[in-house]
A and B are shown apart, each in its own frame.
Chain A
Amino acid sequence: MKLLSTDRLTMRYPGGVLALDDLTLDLEPGLIGLVGANGAGKSTFIKLLLGLLQPTAGRATVLGLDPSTDPIEVRQRIGYLPEHDCLPTDISAADFITHMARMSGLPRASARERAAEMLRHVGLYEARYRTMDGYSTGMKQRVKLAQALVHDPRLLLLDEPTNGLDPAGRDQMLELIRRTGKQFGISVLVSSHLLGEIERVCDHLVAIDAGRLVRSARIGVFTAHTAALAIAVDHGRDELKAWLARAGAIAEDDGRGGLFVPLEDDEQAYDLVRDGASELGLPLVRLQRTRRQLQDLFRATAPDPSLESAGAAPRDPS
């Protein structure tokens, strides 16, 4: 069965902001990363899947159900971790998770049992009877994961779960997510603005920008194209770009005065750049294998000048 699919899903907020624009997607069960810059429409997408927002056009299907007509059925099968703080402070984690389990329809005894089990899964078993006002950001984030898991959902929607965590906390959270997806057999859709995080845990990647689908592919396909050569010359950048184009290599501006050349498997690009620079007599100051950042990925796959003005890619101040 399809995990989720959307058909021309569009969301325009009453204020006129177009948050999602004609998004058509088909996703199989698994660990899915949803990447995009801040404001790209990730949270809106997740809320539409939950039936918390009604799309202005198009439709979504989650686990075979339509969240806009069958929200309760959908939500019983989904766990949601919001981007922002959402925990009460004056109650213990155990009581809170139990309460949330009951909100999903679990009888009292099962709710309590599952709550303890989930808190152990996220590593908060010892701290579970303490009130949550004393919890660190990392602990709170793990309570949020536990409440999303407590009713044994088929799909987890995690909105920026690593937000505000230090590097160690990030690693733990990512490991928890990976473990949840791989060992529990629960599908996970995890959003992030950091491609590196998504690469580590997901096997499928969906990139959106300014509400539009940039790309949806298996992670391998995606990252194969992220390896590139970063080139910098003191002057004559445009001549070099033209020369490379004639030689059959498409170079792009990196937005910082240099160039990117995609690095294919045969690694021919090294020789091409060397030859081009020497033939044109240009001072080559940088020739470095690099992994392209998320915004470079967007630039490469969606060469739309309006993207830059929409604030999707950071512009060079110079």
Chain B
Amino acid sequence: MLEPARTESGTIYDIGYQNYDGVRLGRRYAIWSLFVHGLGAVFAKGRGFRAGLIPFVLAAAVVVPAAFQALATAYTNGVFELLTYSNYFLTISTVFAFFCAARAPELMSTDQRTRTLVLYLARALHREDYVLAKVMALVTTVLFLTLTPLLILFAGHVFSSTDLWAGFRAEADQLLPILASSVAMALVMGTVSTAIASLTPRRSLAAAAVLGYFMVSRVVVEILGTSVGATWVRWLQLLDPFVALGGFSDWVFGNVLSQFLDPEVSGWRFAGACVTYVLVGGAVLITRYRKAGA
């Protein structure tokens, strides 16, 4: 029997080592666990009330306007409609920008700052798996935040009709566009903001960079749009992801009175821009993590 070893914070009693011979669930389980862990990180799970305040307030700011609009729609039978399916994201895009700027660094920068990244990479998953789990955690959160208000608006429309079933059927063809525009929003916002945040281990810098990108691109694009009328400017405007997303929403909802769409500009342009955002964001992430932590 060995003497128990004394340490500064306790006593090590040797009661023998047990080998682990249970199941090892492998790579897919590891990715899933990291994804779930990431969802917790987005909402500051286990970090106390104060840390959780920002994500929840921002999430509420995204959802609550839709609830008011839905009530208004239901009471006025759709006469008073400030927020529509297609303009919703654009109207509250600033809140989305803040949400992503606040949460993407939590997912991407923290592991780099504390250098925990290498511990993940030394385990049962690949570099790409790590990136995928983290990005999908933010994408899923944003999807939840985009889908929820649109479904609330949807409910408002359904309840504005006296016959609920008829109301539902009248509104049902909006469900697919709701899903399409929400998924586009989630993928673009999620990949772009995680890609930017992954570039620096400093959380505050990452937050500023994400917010800066969304805000500066918008201001530049707006100045260009009002001062220069040339057709190439309309291409340049796609550098603001919210222009790409707004145009895409208008297109899928068949909104003809759009600020983006006209006979000259096809909706495919915005769809293509959204895909490009996701691809470029993905490429930045893959390149970044090819070296990181090695």
Task: Spell out A's residues near B (CB within 8 Å).
Answer: 47, 50, 52-53, 71-72, 75-76, 78, 80, 82, 84-91, 95, 99-100, 102-107, 110, 114, 117, 120-127, 136, 138-139, 142, 147, 151-152, 168, 172, 175-176, 179, 183-185
Interface contact B124-A138, CB-CB below 8 Å = no
Task: Spell out B's residues near A (CB within 8 Å).
Answer: 2, 5, 7-14, 16-20, 22-27, 29-30, 33-34, 37, 46-47, 110-111, 114-116, 118-126, 293-294
Q: Which residues of B contact A107 (CB under 8 A)?
A: 22-23, 25, 29
Interface contact B30-A102, CB-CB below 8 Å = yes
Q: For A87, give its contact among B9, B18, B116 (CB under 8 Å).
A: B116
Interface contact A52-B46, CB-CB below 8 Å = no
Q: Which residues of B contact A151 (CB under 8 A)?
A: 20, 24, 123
Q: How far is the CA of A72 from the CA of B7 in the complex (A)?
A: 35
Given A100-B123, A183-B17, A136–B116 Cβ distance below 8 Å? Answer: no
Given A87-B116, A104-B123, A107-B25, A175–B20 Cβ distance below 8 Å? Answer: no
B213 to chain A, nearest CB (A): 26
Interface contact A175-B126, CB-CB below 8 Å = no
Q: Which residues of A contact B16 (CB under 8 A)?
A: 183
> Can you name 27 A-B pairs with beta carbons within 8 Å?
A50-B122, A75-B122, A75-B123, A80-B118, A82-B118, A89-B114, A103-B120, A103-B123, A105-B25, A105-B27, A107-B29, A120-B12, A121-B12, A122-B12, A123-B7, A123-B11, A123-B12, A124-B9, A125-B10, A138-B8, A139-B9, A142-B7, A151-B24, A152-B20, A176-B12, A179-B14, A184-B17
Q: Which residues of B contact A103 (CB under 8 A)?
A: 30, 33-34, 119-120, 123-125
Given A53-B294, A127-B10, A110–B5 Cβ distance below 8 Å? Answer: no
Q: Which residues of A contact B120 (CB under 8 A)?
A: 103
Interface contact B124-A76, CB-CB below 8 Å = yes
Q: How far is the CA of A110 from the CA of B12 in the complex (A)?
A: 22
Q: How far is the CA of A79 from the CA of B86 in the complex (A)?
A: 51
A98 to chain B, nearest CB (A): 10
